[in-house]
Structure 1
Amino acid sequence: MAILNSCTSKAPPTLRVGINAWPGYEFIYLAQELGLYKKSGLDVRLIEFSSLSDARRAYERGQIDALGTTVIEVLQSRENSEKSLQIVSISDYSDGADIIIANRHITDIKSLKGKEVGLELASLGVYVLARALEKNGLTLNDLHLQSLDQQSLTEALKAGELDAIVTYPPSNIQLLTDPNFHTLFDSKAISGEVLDVIAIDQQFIQQHPAIVRQFIAAFESAYQYSLTHPDQAYAIMAEREGITANEFEIALTQGIKMIRFSDQADYFKAHGKLDEVIQRTDKVLRESQQIKGIDHTKDIKSSLNSPGKQ
């Protein structure tokens, strides 16, 4: 009978996870490199993308089940697809890492009026730019917007085809060493508003809650490993992003605030920090016409991470 059970037992379903270059998401990759998924009996397949919007579209096409992303992309995905992403964990929030870089002739945000500004449309960049403009009495309609991926944005700014771009690490690291460019605005001015999250398809969560919990636990274990073995961890994660370990450490520690596992409940409780960000984000996206349909904020938080569900 034991032999029969072993022959008929099903292999765990593959969790296909989209990941793009952002220091806060790299612990998804680090967990793989440390063998934490295999140790937990998980079958996790990481799929790399060049931008947040590319990963979101892959989810909408059914090519991935989960992704490192932001509240912005989760709301937009719910607008554009019948599939339902749910937030299962908060990885970090941007505290200066998301920035608007301009050529040296653009002195402030108000000077962007009528200028060519590049960003990833239908993505995080829209929110950051909209909030920067709002704080300075402008709107997206006051600019000429161009949608490009992060690498193309950098190249276009260097070529003088754009006056400013919305960007983030690692793409902005080399730009900021060039005296021809400078920072006009960074997410420290809206600290806590840009939440980076792990989001997973609602149906997958319902069918495989144990796998989701183990995946989140592996992410946390990878983060804990980085605290005790920073040199090894930063080297692994920096190599995937194509930067040095020192550059990775600076990007992670000087512009990003990681959210510990013990702090998750404060975000997921009713009327907690996550609810505040969701409502503010929805408002900004609707004002900028990025979302026009029904209310997509209902059941956006997975109950797996609600207080009392740990």
Structure 2
Amino acid sequence: MTINLNEEKNMFLKTLLVVLFSFLGVFLFSNMSVNASSDKTVKIAHSSWIGFYPLDLAEEKGFFKDYGVNVQIKDIESKSDSKSALAAGKIQGVATSLDTNVLSAASGLKIQNVLALDTSKGADGLVGKNNIKSFKNLKGKTVALDTTGGASYFWFNYMLQKNNMKLKDMKVESMDSGAAGSAFVSGKVDAAMTWQPWLSKAGATKNGHIVMSSKSSPGIIVDTLGLSTSFIKKHPQEVKGIIKGWYKALAYMKSNPKAAYAIMSKKAGIAPKKLKNEMTTQIKLYDKKENKKYFGTAKNKGNIYKISKIASNLWYTSKISNAKANVNELTNPTFVNAIK
């Protein structure tokens, strides 16, 4: 059988076109997959703490999206609830106190601290009735305290050790820090460990005052952003985008304070002027420079390792945790050091 040259040429062209369209289809499909991945919502939880509101500002202003990541901030007050949500993959990250993430890591949760958010310098504290003049006066008193973990519980245990006291020396009613402040204001307890804005509300009552605040132990209460280890491995670019979004929010707070605090005050439920006063006098927000210093390098480790170790030892010796956290595995300085 003979084949015409024109027919042979046509067959060749048809075959070539089939191959080209096949490659084009693979290319388009892979591109769609990449886009779908980058469009996936990253969920980050936090409680009602003033140091976390720049995350809400970044979401509202689209700063995360400016760096290619779609972030949704979720409100979860309970430490145990946010831990469960992270373990179940319902959220990818949690903004909370460093000691909380240490406790979670000690219990086996695969999490890494990738960003320092703030440190408390008066925004956490112990409020008590007027007859409670010092921490030692809590003996025999009813104290509202979040015993599930978190900054208040960590700091309370830190003060217990400093004063050679034990939790059984007082009657503890377990509730989250916001509810603890509310319980004190309503006269249901003798004292409470709480934070802003409840600290000011509780301290302003006729029969109560602020016994002591985090001003007395600077650098102990630090908040970080902890992300799922598996998420970090799969989405390193998104991790960078989240950190850059945080930095952009802090810069916006400086360049456009009126607009920034107006947005954040809606989340906080207090007036912009009051929120600004609390955020500028009672906490210190960690920007790019502060993060590089706090994390340090592999050769010259920063203060985050020291505080993490203190927390790990405290949780273990107080029998809140059955194991110590691996501080080196928990701490990931890669991203804050990679961002110039």
Q: TM-score, normalised by structure 2?
A: 0.84
CA RMSD of aligned residues (A): 2.1
1:284 maps to which residue? 314
How far apart are 1:91 and its partner, in Å?
0.8
2:71 maps to which residue? 44
Gapped regions of structure 2 (runs ≥ 5) = 1-23
CA distance in 2, matches of 1:125, 1:57: 20
* 1:63 counterpart letter in structure 2: K
| Structure 1 stretch displaced more, 187-196 or 31-40 | 31-40
Checking the alignment, whether the CA contact within 8 Å between 1:209 and 1:304 is kept in structure 2 is no
CA distance in 1, matches of 2:170, 2:182: 20
Checking the alignment, whether the CA contact within 8 Å between 2:42 and 2:70 is kept in structure 1 is yes
Q: Percent identity?
A: 25
Distance of aligned partners of 1:74 and 1:151 in 2 relative to their CA distance in 1, 3 Å threshold: closer
Matched length: 309
SS in structure 2 of the partner of residue 117 of structure 1 = strand
Q: TM-score, normalised by structure 1?
A: 0.92
Checking the alignment, whether the CA contact within 8 Å between 2:51 and 2:279 is kept in structure 1 is yes
Q: Does 1:15 align with 2:42?
A: yes
Which of 19, 28, 33 aligns to 1:4? It is 28
How far apart are 1:61 and its partner, in Å?
3.2
* 1:264 counterpart letter in structure 2: N
Checking the alignment, whether the CA contact within 8 Å between 2:46 and 2:95 is kept in structure 1 is yes
Q: What are the Cα deviations for residues 261-291 of structure 1, in whole angstroms up to 9, with x where unaligned?
A: 1122222224321111111111222222222
2:6 maps to which residue? none
Checking the alignment, whether the CA contact within 8 Å between 2:181 and 2:193 is kept in structure 1 is no
Distance of aligned partners of 1:272 and 1:104 in 2 relative to their CA distance in 1, 3 Å threshold: same
Checking the alignment, whether the CA contact within 8 Å between 1:268 and 1:305 is kept in structure 2 is no
Q: What are the Cα deviations for residues 30-52 of structure 1, in whole angstroms up to 9, with x where unaligned?
A: 00111112222212122111244
CA distance in 2, matches of 1:246, 1:305: 34
Distance of aligned partners of 1:196 and 1:7 in 2 relative to their CA distance in 1, 3 Å threshold: closer
Q: How does 1:76-225 map to 2 (within 5 A)?
A: 76-80=103-107, 82-123=108-149, 124-225=151-252
SS in structure 2 of the partner of residue 205 of structure 1 = helix
Higher helix share: 2
| Structure 1 stretch displaced more, 157-166 or 193-202 | 157-166
2:335 maps to which residue? 305
Gapped regions of structure 1 (runs ≥ 5) = none
CA distance in 1, matches of 2:104, 2:163: 29
Which of 268, 277, 301 aligns to 1:271? It is 301
CA distance in 2, matches of 1:294, 1:255: 31
Checking the alignment, whether the CA contact within 8 Å between 2:114 and 2:226 is kept in structure 1 is yes
| Structure 1 stretch displaced more, 27-36 or 256-265 | 256-265
Checking the alignment, whether the CA contact within 8 Å between 1:101 and 1:185 is kept in structure 2 is yes
SS in structure 1 of the partner of residue 328 of structure 2 = coil
